[in-house]
Structure 1
Amino acid sequence: MRSSGILGSLQLAAAIGAVLATAVPHQSHAADADPGAQAQQTIESVMVTARRREEAVQDVPVAIAVLNADTIENTGSFNVGKLQQLQPSVQFYSSNPRNSAVNIRGLGAPFGLTNDGIEQGVGIYIDQVYYSRAATATFDFLDVDQIEILRGPQGTLYGKNTTAGAINVTTRKPSFEPEGRAEITTGDLGYLQSKASITGPLIGDTVAGRLSGSYTSRDGTIYNVATGQHINELDNLGFKGQVLIQPSSTLGITLSADYTRQDPLGYGQLYVRTGSTQRALARQYAALAEASNYEVPSTDPFDRVTDLDAELSAEQIFAGASALVEWDIGPGRLTSVSAFRKWDWGPANDRDFIGLPITTVSQNPSEQRQWSQELRFAASGEQLDYVVGLYGFYQTVDTAGVQEQGPLASRWLLSGANANNPDILNGLRAENDIGLKNTSVAAFGQLTWHVSDKLRLQPGLRVNYDKKDGKYIATVTNATNTPLTAAQLGVLAPQNYTPEFSDTNVSGDFTVSYDLSDSVLGYVTYARSFKSGGINLSGLPLDANSQPITAVQTVDPERVHHYEGGLKSQLFNRKATVNLAAFSTEISDYQATVTNSQANVIRGYLANADEIRVRGVELDISVQPLDGLNLYVNGAFTDHEYTKFPNAPCPPELSGGTTASAANPPSAPGTPGGFSPPFCDISGQWLPGVSKTAFSYGLEYDFDLPLLGADGGGYFAFDGSYRSKFSSNPSRSRYTDIEGYSLANFRAGIRAGGWNVYGWVRNAFEEDYFEFLATQSGSTGLVVGQPGDPRTYGLTVNKSF
């Protein structure tokens, strides 16, 4: 290993392990509790399928957080995006569902970029089916039983795009024992959520079914004075049906189908602040707003007021069907997972972020389809456990984008005399025809050799072939249907290119695990993984002749070297679970967001940064010091940086000016009318979106209430989280750092006779914080953002029968 930091962390882990191994009474480490956020149960055995076979989580040499159904429901974590408040190693960013990213340990995908030709670095799996679109993270969970968050590369068993980790969601299965669940929640801001599920036999003891549904609505948290409507609301509806066919004790077939629709009014960002750039002073935000006789409705973003004047829409549909076949044969189980998924996205956005007709239309509706087939065999023996398999995946994405400029576009996007001629850009329109076809096939295997009762060796290997074919056709017209001028080409330029990419990659890992005692497991892992290469499908940068630079139409795969060591322990007669992990991840050819030196570029594109590094330590503690009292603390310290990125995009304070040269060196940051470097060396700077320190913590106390009967009781619970400062820009900027913040949530209720009634308050202390910040196109100096949810409160009633 090249990193001295990880060596020190592993030495610390080994020292702690030695102490635990000698100080703790002998007991089975096969039992565990939710190491993440479980609050209402005693510390008991939790089974996971992280290695594609069922086993106790404390026996798995992987950093895993497990969230059970009660934790998910009681904390209001109704989609993947909400999990970051429970798990400090998870980060989620979204300006709209298509433009979303889920990261683990700061890795996964660059946020703030929409590009159909790239893929995520965190795999999301629901009932063993891979969901390739990050928009999955915005949908409500349907009848979830358990969520496993696997941290670190999982390429051997979970595939090519899990360089940062995987989120493995398992829903409740059909049962031959009739049962049902119903829940309704109401709260302020018009919040209403209802959930229901029912299961039971359909044909004797051979066929069982399960039907579940969910609906969530809430008023928007931002008021748009231009339309008199609240935006960024919730409007989610979902259904799922399952049929289990069990002709024998060794064969089970589960057929599933689901449909989910979202149709909220949103999404929009609002004014946060301004910062000086290198643009001429008359072309920066304050002067432009004054010349346009414009004033934002509020300069305090936590007034939650905006005046967006373009159409807003965020309708999307997720649907699909799958067939899961599990057949016990001899020493193992043969599993087949066949699936089809679709995603339809119909957005409309205000891309200038303010109430002026600069960009009047911005829409990129997409239709995605995917087909996948996995076949694997898993077996366990006295000395050898193994999993082998084959995987195939095919997807298509078709996007028909439209962007149109308005009567004030010339003033805000052009300079000199052109800025005073609204006819130059008014009505300038680009219609994009974007397509992607992606084929991926893989063969994989993982072996666990029980060298002794205490020592296990686990090698794994995956060979993956990936092919992408794309098209990007941009047709640009102006209001007069005349040849485009140079000024118009500098804002929207016709493009027509057909990128292609294909590659074969080999992923592998090797883990050594050892029982330091009957209650302490230690492990070390090395993994070599990758994230698939991509093609740029958001338009290419232009050269001096306004022609696409086709040399950057493809992006190389990310190549990952990962080292990790950990301890998993249960102490004091299983009243405490303490898990520790230390890791170091180095990625070469990191897929980063890049811009070129054009002042009016609307979107960035992807290119490869030379190298980044992320390393850190994670600690998960769950304790039951007294009967009825459960405590948890999860912490993550993450050191992160661009190790080498000399040709990165410059931050806003160094952008927008005349391109610097030998005769005119770059000006100081934020110098109006200055000289801007064509690129910046950001080696040693922070990665975007990652806090150095993050924590989640909480407690639940249960107590008897004899008036409610023998099984009646009350409870009180608290869940808190903290994140330190992080950057919200690909190149760190003094204008877009987000200050650290902490959130506190409380709930209290009673349980009796299958009923659970509780009141709750989230963000109880009304913390003002931002989920992300971004800058307006054209280096005007305007910074916009998305405030986090304000304090909310409500009442939940659920019943199991």
Structure 2
Amino acid sequence: MKTTLKRAPLALAVSLASALSAAPSLAQQAGATALEEVVVTARKRTENLQDVPIAVSAFSAADLAIQGVDDITDLQYSLPNTTLQVSRGTNTTLTAYIRGIGQQDPLWGFEPGVGIYVDDVYIARPQGAVLDVLDVENIEVLRGPQGTLYGKNTIGGALKYTTRRVGNEPTFEVEGTVGDYQRRDLKVMGSVPIIEDTLFISGGAAVLKRDGYGEFRNTGADNYNKDVATGHLKLEWRPSDSLALILAGDKTRDTSNAKGGYRLTPSLITGQQPYSSVFDSDTSLPTDNLVETEGASLHAIWDISDRWQLKSITAYREGRTDTPIDFDATAVASVDVPAIYEDDQTTQEFQLNYSGDRFNAVGGLYYYEGNACGVFDLILGVFNTTVENGGCVDTESYSAYFQGAYDVTEALSLSFGGRYTQDEKSASVYRNVYLGARYPDSGGGTLVAVQSDFDDSDSWGEFTPHLGVQYTFNDNLMAYASYTSGFKSGGYDMRANISVNPNGDEPFDPETVDAYEIGFKSTLWDRRLRLNAAAFYNDYTDMQVTVQRAVGGADFASQVLNAGASEMQGFELELVAALTDALTLSATYGYIDAEFTELEWFDPNAQANVDVSDQWVISNTPEYVYNIGVQYDLDIGGWGTTLLASAAYRDDVHIFEVPSVLDEEGYTLYNASIVLRSPNERWTLGLHGKNLSDEEYRIAGYNFAATYDDQGNLVAAGLGGEDTVTGFYGDPRTIAFTVNYAF
């Protein structure tokens, strides 16, 4: 049922903030100390979090260490209306959604709805984007379109990962972690001034290993294991007080086994029943898996004057993924998909910042050139056939952006800006059917049919504006309202099957969103309480939805639809309170009502257009989420000690656009940490427990199911003659002990 945005939650929160600002100070009564100021660079300049009129959450290196955050997917439980999860069948591919906007399908050539930035360099591919925490200064997550501030696609929001800067004092840090499932991690980080005040070198490296949470029953290989090596190196030259040049390089190599899914139903071919552990599987493919990503960048930062700063960011990145995916999770090659993805990108950004007494602004020019290629083979053993899909897409993107903020009075500020983007894409796609088994890296089979073979190109351009108003009532309370338009360009379906979808060679259109947001930020009770709230409404046009359907048992069809219209509306709350000198309470809450209002698709089985706006759902977007945490600080024998406990709830979530048995019911994760710091602050010991109740929760899956009648009788087998309904799950209960030494 369609609903309208309710004013009650925001009105209640504003009333609460007003009441608290006038109430006696609870913190004074309890004798608590004030909360530390949180500094962010979300708007490309250093600001107090409470002065920034956008919904942004920030995590310092200390925050991440206390919580035992291993990679960026851990952050989703502390963020309202945000999904950051490992994609199906992978170890380091990211599924990211913010306020209902994201990328469900990690196929090559598709553009993510959430922008990932590492030291201001845009990461175009989801493969390898599950970033491990290494040598981090801070991580900021911005919700809502950010195109007037950031380089490439940020239609849904942006995650900004910033590594540590260096100084004149040499630093060295080594960290080791051991835990159950034979976890053994080693991280080494440091920096050295080669020439004082002028030349510095810094970097970090990590080896992260863990045995599997389960196994492949028919081979004995680990399932859900981890084997990652990563590192980065930076050389920073400051030839003068006004100029800095930073040359950086990084590389990550993930050789963890390919993940096997858990069968939710018995196999129609082998009779295999669902195993007792969701982390156990079978496979008919080798489990060898490789994801490599690497890149280099050059930052030039010139402080022209006290008011003007010019930045140039030049970067190159490339990656390769070689992965075997066993959809059906049996020892028989019923629905096997070995795949290879390769991509590279070159980006150049020029950014000019101005900081004045009443006017601040950032503007820039951005260029992106990328090439993404891939090939996968759908091996259908029962039919002794293979469908091979492959091709490349080349992208060139040019854009200019600007955002300024003008202080009309000491209390009233206006922000305004815009972005123009011009994207050009050319694609080549082929789809062949072979008799026998065929593999991307070794060939095989006999060609019997060509289902697609086309080359095409197209271009799209769009101007997206931003308008905002901010009013500061006093030092403790600020309110804001904004309108921002977001844009993501069109493209081509790299799985197009023209034999069943005659229009499959036509490009899909760009998607746009008009995003409205109102909110407030408050610092109350003598700076012991930070209470921030935001309400939003997204009017989405031509939302890109990827759809895959089996056509009979021996073929499948893919489409990238442009949903005519969809809406997302919701509310977010973030709270931190220093209740006493030792005790701190934190909480976040997010609510979203997301739905399609217009949606029609071409059913390849019925060969007809069908209105599904009342049947389909927005995936990877729980209706509400919340997190409650308490932190207690004390001194034990001169060692500073922090005790942390939290509970994070995520409501029911749909894995795909159509409700299915894969959908996960709401669940709560309980985490706890004990962290001790030595008197000289060189040693840090941490004991971290995650998912302490050992909750079983599904985060992804494959659904090419058989059809049954109301009495449970088989009507028709699914893809490959199987009943393929396989799920992938979040981590079980884990305990880890970390020792960190730094000087």
TM-score (norm 1): 0.84
- 1:347 matched to 2:323? The reply is yes
Partner of 1:120: 112
CA shift for structure 1 position 327: 0.8
Task: State the one-letter code of the partner of 2:311.
Answer: T
CA shift for structure 1 position 357: 2.3
- 1:681 matched to 2:612? The reply is yes
- 1:796 matched to 2:724? The reply is no
CA shift for structure 1 position 55: 1.2
- 1:434 matched to 2:434? The reply is no
CA distance in structure 2 between the aligned counterparts of 1:260 and 1:41, rounded to whole angstroms: 42
CA distance in structure 1 between the aligned counterparts of 2:430 and 2:92, rounded to whole angstroms: 20
Partner of 1:588: 541
Partner of 2:648: 721
Partner of 1:33: none
Partner of 1:702: 633
- 1:784 matched to 2:709? The reply is no
CA shift for structure 1 position 193: 1.3
Partner of 1:279: none
Distance 1:78 1:541, change over 3 A: farther
Q: Which runs of 5+ in 1 are unaligned?
A: 28-39, 275-284, 411-425, 482-487, 650-654, 661-676
Out of 701, 708, 722, the residue aligned to residue 773 of structure 1 is 701
Aligned partner of residue 73 in structure 2, secondary structure: helix
CA shift for structure 1 position 19: 4.0
CA distance in structure 2 between the aligned counterparts of 1:573 and 1:491, rounded to whole angstroms: 76
- 1:320 matched to 2:299? The reply is no
When structure 1 is superposed on structure 2, of 158-167 and 490-499 the one drifting more is 490-499
Aligned partner of residue 70 in structure 1, secondary structure: helix
Task: State the one-letter code of the partner of 1:757.
Answer: L
Out of 474, 491, 499, the residue aligned to residue 517 of structure 1 is 474
Is the CA contact (8 Å cut-off) linking 1:759 and 1:796 kept in structure 2? yes
Out of 57, 60, 75, the residue aligned to residue 52 of structure 2 is 60
Question: How big is each residue's C-alpha offset from its partner over 1:731-769, in whole Å with a ceiling of 9 and x where there is no partner?
Answer: 123x23211100111122421122111222111111121
Partner of 1:759: 687
Partner of 1:484: none
Partner of 1:672: none
Q: Which runs of 5+ in 2 are unaligned?
A: 439-444, 706-717
Task: State the one-letter code of the partner of 2:271.
Answer: Y
CA distance in structure 2 between the aligned counterparts of 1:310 and 1:797, rounded to whole angstroms: 38
Distance 1:160 1:173, change over 3 A: closer
Aligned partner of residue 133 in structure 1, secondary structure: coil
Distance 1:535 1:164, change over 3 A: same
CA distance in structure 2 between the aligned counterparts of 1:556 and 1:570, rounded to whole angstroms: 44
- 1:84 matched to 2:76? The reply is yes
Question: How big is each residue's C-alpha offset from its partner over 1:274-313, in whole Å with a ceiling of 9 and x where there is no partner?
Answer: 7xxxxxxxxxx6xxx2xx45323x44453x3222222223
CA distance in structure 2 between the aligned counterparts of 1:722 and 1:615, rounded to whole angstroms: 20
Aligned partner of residue 768 in structure 1, secondary structure: coil
Question: How big is each residue's C-alpha offset from its partner over 1:684-721, in whole Å with a ceiling of 9 and x where there is no partner?
Answer: 7531111111011212211112x33xxx2222111221
Out of 98, 101, 106, the residue aligned to residue 104 of structure 1 is 98
Task: State the one-letter code of the partner of 2:281.
Answer: T
CA shift for structure 1 position 529: 1.3
Is the CA contact (8 Å cut-off) linking 2:359 and 2:405 kept in structure 1? yes
Partner of 1:238: 230
More helix by share: 1
CA distance in structure 1 between the aligned counterparts of 2:240 and 2:669, rounded to whole angstroms: 50
CA shift for structure 1 position 207: 0.3
Aligned partner of residue 228 in structure 1, secondary structure: coil
Question: How big is each residue's C-alpha offset from its partner over 1:120-179, in whole Å with a ceiling of 9 and x where there is no partner?
Answer: 110000101000111243232331110000011111111452111000111001222111
Aligned partner of residue 85 in structure 1, secondary structure: helix
Partner of 1:623: 577
Identity of aligned residues (%): 28
Aligned partner of residue 725 in structure 1, secondary structure: coil
Out of 533, 542, 550, the residue aligned to residue 490 of structure 2 is 533
State how 1:631-650 maps to structure 2 within 5 Å. Answer: 631-647=585-601
Aligned partner of residue 81 in structure 1, secondary structure: helix
Partner of 1:741: 667
More strand by share: 2
Is the CA contact (8 Å cut-off) linking 1:97 and 1:134 kept in structure 2? no
CA distance in structure 1 between the aligned counterparts of 2:169 and 2:144, rounded to whole angstroms: 38
CA distance in structure 2 between the aligned counterparts of 1:176 and 1:99, rounded to whole angstroms: 37
Distance 1:603 1:19, change over 3 A: farther
CA shift for structure 1 position 99: 5.9
Aligned length in residues = 711
State how 1:179-258 maps to structure 2 within 5 Å. Answer: 179-258=171-250
Aligned partner of residue 129 in structure 2, secondary structure: helix
CA distance in structure 2 between the aligned counterparts of 1:552 and 1:17, rounded to whole angstroms: 54
- 1:572 matched to 2:525? The reply is yes
Partner of 1:609: 563
Distance 1:398 1:9, change over 3 A: same
CA shift for structure 1 position 184: 0.5
CA distance in structure 1 between the aligned counterparts of 2:488 and 2:529, rounded to whole angstroms: 37
Out of 328, 336, 341, the residue aligned to residue 366 of structure 1 is 341
Distance 1:128 1:626, change over 3 A: same
State how 1:371-410 maps to structure 2 within 5 Å. Answer: 371-406=346-381, 409-410=382-383
CA distance in structure 2 between the aligned counterparts of 1:41 and 1:792, rounded to whole angstroms: 34
- 1:51 matched to 2:29? The reply is no
TM-score (norm 2): 0.90
When structure 1 is superposed on structure 2, of 341-350 and 75-84 the one drifting more is 75-84
Out of 433, 437, 441, the residue aligned to residue 476 of structure 1 is 433
Give me the CA root mean square deviation.
2.7
Out of 423, 442, 460, the residue aligned to residue 503 of structure 1 is 460
Is the CA contact (8 Å cut-off) linking 2:634 and 2:640 kept in structure 1? yes
Is the CA contact (8 Å cut-off) linking 1:122 and 1:164 kept in structure 2? yes
Distance 1:444 1:315, change over 3 A: same
CA distance in structure 1 between the aligned counterparts of 2:6 and 2:248, rounded to whole angstroms: 44
Is the CA contact (8 Å cut-off) linking 1:591 and 1:609 kept in structure 2? yes
CA shift for structure 1 position 535: 1.1
CA distance in structure 1 between the aligned counterparts of 2:504 and 2:561, rounded to whole angstroms: 11
Is the CA contact (8 Å cut-off) linking 1:736 and 1:773 kept in structure 2? yes
- Displacement over 6 Å in runs of 4+: 488-492
CA distance in structure 2 between the aligned counterparts of 1:679 and 1:638, rounded to whole angstroms: 27
Aligned partner of residue 364 in structure 1, secondary structure: strand
Distance 1:640 1:41, change over 3 A: farther
Is the CA contact (8 Å cut-off) linking 1:260 and 1:317 kept in structure 2? yes
Partner of 1:667: none
Aligned partner of residue 379 in structure 1, secondary structure: strand
Partner of 2:311: 335
Distance 1:490 1:161, change over 3 A: farther
CA distance in structure 2 between the aligned counterparts of 1:702 and 1:21, rounded to whole angstroms: 26
Distance 1:500 1:313, change over 3 A: farther
CA distance in structure 2 between the aligned counterparts of 1:383 and 1:100, rounded to whole angstroms: 40
